[in-house]
Every structure is written in C-alpha cells, then in structure tokens.
Structure 1
Amino acid sequence: MRIFSCETHINHALDMFVAEQKTFPMLEKLLNEEKLSTNCTYCNERAIYIVASEE
C-alpha cells in the first residue's frame, strides 16, 4: 500500500494506513522530480510525502 500526501492530509494518510494495514508505515519526503508529477491521494495538491509499507 502506498499513499501520496500533501502537508494538509499527512495525518489522515498515516491514520488510514495504520487502520488498513495494522502496522506502522514508512514515511518519506518525495524527491523534487517526484513532486512535480505526483498529486495527493486525497486532493489535487502536489504530494510532498509518501506513506508506504517497508519494502
């Protein structure tokens, strides 16, 4: 599971991940080139973070 999030929705993204996966996620900031083409899962703002399973 991967969730892309803007600054506004990061807490919601973390909560949703833990609720669905029953484990703590890895939280990383996106690289500048990734930010340009990636929108938040919950709105149309540019994503800043990715919340994902450890892989």
Structure 2
Amino acid sequence: METYSCETHIDHALDMFVAQTQEFPIMDKLSDNEKLSTKCSYCEEQATYIVSSK
C-alpha cells in the first residue's frame, strides 16, 4: 500500500495507514521530479510525502 500526502494531511495519512494495514509505516519525502506529477491522496495539492510499508 502506498499513500501520497501533502504537508497538511501527513498525520491523517499515517493514521489511516496504520489503521488499514496494522503495520508501522515508512514515510519518505518525494523528490522534486516526483512532486511535480503527484497529487495528495486526500486533496488536490501537490504531494510532499509517500507513506508505504517496507
């Protein structure tokens, strides 16, 4: 599972990931190139982070 998140929704993304997967999430910052083409999973803003499992 992968979720993309902006600065505003990162707490919600982490909480939802744990609730759905029961695993500890890994949060990584997206590179500048990835940011350009990736939207937040919860709004239309540019994503800053990716939350995923191992």
Q: TM-score range by the shorter chain?
A: over 0.9
| Matching residue of 1:27 | 27
Cα RMSD, aligned residues only: 0.3
> What CA distance in whole angstroms lies between the structure 1 residues aligned with 2:43 and 2:49?
13
Which runs of 5 or more residues in structure 1 are unaligned?
none
1:27 is displaced (CA, Å) by 0.4
The superposition leaves residues 11-33 of structure 1 with CA deviations (integer Å, 9 ceiling, x where unpaired) of: 00000000000011110000000
> What CA distance in whole angstroms lies between the structure 1 residues aligned with 2:11 and 2:26?
13
Percent of pairs with identical residues: 61
| Matching residue of 1:46 | 46
| TM, length-normalised to structure 2 | 0.98
| TM, length-normalised to structure 1 | 0.97
1:10 is displaced (CA, Å) by 0.1
